[in-house]
């Protein structure tokens, strides 16, 4: 089993590091938060005093941090100077494609191997070891990353070269944001047309309108399977995180000169929704705002 440095033990990283320890790895864990370090110790990791200490002597260094600036800072200030030559850096945070490519180039210039490996799946999937990883990096780097990531996920997919994992993540979540808004609109319109929403669900979920936002995550209570809508829009995937991903998608679209009108509209709507105090509400809760607007 490998020695693994793990930096960023928050909602996601805490569960992921615990799964690596459970699989028998020697996990050296670091976070700025003392509570997060205590939880990591209880989960079988060895808390260390700095990000550099987590990286030193590790075969693999995993980061699960809020945004690109945190990843770049931790790499530049701590990891690059401490990691052994040939160590693999796996950044599982959701960050912008440009930063992902820049830090991978910088890592390679230092004799390290780097992949971006963002995840699909929330806190429950992180704790349960059922995340999906989308990996950007060389074939050889993917071959080294895959066995480590598979302790934390149900699927590990090679997306392409460095940055391709982040590209897959933000394109997926832009699609999710747009289809959630469209699903909300369709259910609200069905209701206004005196069509029972469950009957609409039964029809559309096996017709050409079917999509994950409807079939698996219907945003109305009592319609389709159990979802956060049945729990007052608590739990699930926070609207603030959806907005973060939509903004990353819009930045990437601007930098790549891509036309994304539906993504842009979804970003506007989620901005309004979160600015109204709903950043912590499940992203399907936007149906309430769309209903009010009518």
Active site residues: 169
Among 2, 26, 70, 198, binds ligand NAD (CB under 6 A): 70
Buried b (16+ CB within 10 A) or exposed e, 113-138: bbbbbbbbbbbebbbebebbbbbbbb
81 part of the interface to ligand NAD, by CB under 6 A: no
Closest to ligand NAD by CB, 39 or 201: 39
**DSSP secondary structure, 121-132, as one string:** S-HHHHHHT-EE
Q: Which helix (H) or strand (E) holds 107?
A: helix 97-109
Stretch that binds ligand NAD, among 100-108, 116-124, 143-151, 160-168 (CB under 6 A): 116-124
Strand, coil or helix: 5: strand
Stretch that binds ligand NAD, among 6-14, 100-108, 199-207, 211-219 (CB under 6 A): 6-14
Q: Which residues contact 255 (CB under 8 A, 6 or more apart)?
A: 97, 98
For residues 90 and 118, the answer to whether their CB atoms sit within 8 Å is no
197 part of the interface to ligand NAD, by CB under 6 A: no
122 part of the interface to ligand NAD, by CB under 6 A: yes
Distance from chain centroid for Cα 264: 20
**How many angstroms separate the CA atoms of 286 and 51, rounded?**
38
Stretch that binds ligand NAD, among 8-16, 37-45, 133-141, 160-168 (CB under 6 A): 8-16
Least separation in angstroms between residue 107's CB and ligand NAD is: 17
Q: Which residues contact 202 (CB under 8 A, 6 or more apart)?
A: none
Closest to ligand NAD by CB, 51 or 149: 51
Least separation in angstroms between residue 118's CB and ligand NAD is: 6
8 part of the interface to ligand NAD, by CB under 6 A: yes
**How many angstroms separate the CA atoms of 283 and 29, rounded?**
31
Least separation in angstroms between residue 281's CB and ligand NAD is: 13
DSSP 229: G
Stretch that binds ligand NAD, among 1-9, 143-151, 153-161, 186-194 (CB under 6 A): 1-9
Where along the sequence are the contacts to ligand NAD (CB under 6 A)? Answer: 7-13, 30-33, 36, 51, 64-66, 70, 74, 93-94, 119, 122-123, 237, 241, 244
């Amino acid at each position: 089993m490998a020695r693994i440095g793990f930096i960023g033990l928050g909602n996601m990283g805490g569960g992921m590091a615990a799964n690596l320890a459970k699989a028998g790895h020697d996990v050296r864990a670091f976070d700025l938060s003392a509570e997060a370090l205590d939880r990591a110790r209880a989960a079988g990791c060895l808390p260390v005093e700095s990000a550099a200490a987590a990286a030193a002597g590790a075969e693999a260094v995993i980061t699960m941090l809020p945004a690109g600036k945190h990843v770049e800072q931790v790499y530049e200030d701590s990891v690059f100077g401490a990691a052994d030559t040939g160590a693999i850096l796996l950044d599982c945070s959701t960050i912008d494609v440009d930063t992902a490519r820049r830090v991978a180039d910088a890592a390679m210039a230092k004799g390290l191997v780097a992949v971006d490996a963002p995840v699909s799946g929330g806190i429950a999937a992180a704790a349960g070891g059922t995340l999906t990883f989308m990996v950007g990096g060389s074939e050889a780097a993917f071959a080294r990353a895959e066995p480590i990531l598979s302790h934390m996920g149900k699927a590990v997919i090679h997306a392409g070269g460095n940055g391709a994992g982040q590209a897959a993540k933000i394109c997926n979540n832009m699609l999710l944001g747009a289809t959630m808004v469209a699903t909300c609109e369709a259910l609200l319109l069905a209701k206004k047309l005196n069509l029972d929403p469950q009957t609409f669900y039964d029809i559309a979920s096996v017709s050409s309108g079917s999509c994950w936002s409807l079939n698996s995550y219907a945003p109305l209570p009592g319609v389709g399977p159990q979802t956060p809508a049945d729990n007052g829009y608590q739990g699930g995937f926070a609207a603030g995180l959806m907005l973060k991903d939509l903004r990353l998608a819009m930045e990437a679209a601007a930098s790549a000169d891509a036309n994304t009108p539906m993504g842009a509209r979804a970003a506007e709507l989620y901005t309004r929704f979160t600015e109204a105090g709903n950043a912590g509400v499940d992203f399907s809760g936007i149906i309430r705002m769309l209903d009010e607007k009518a």
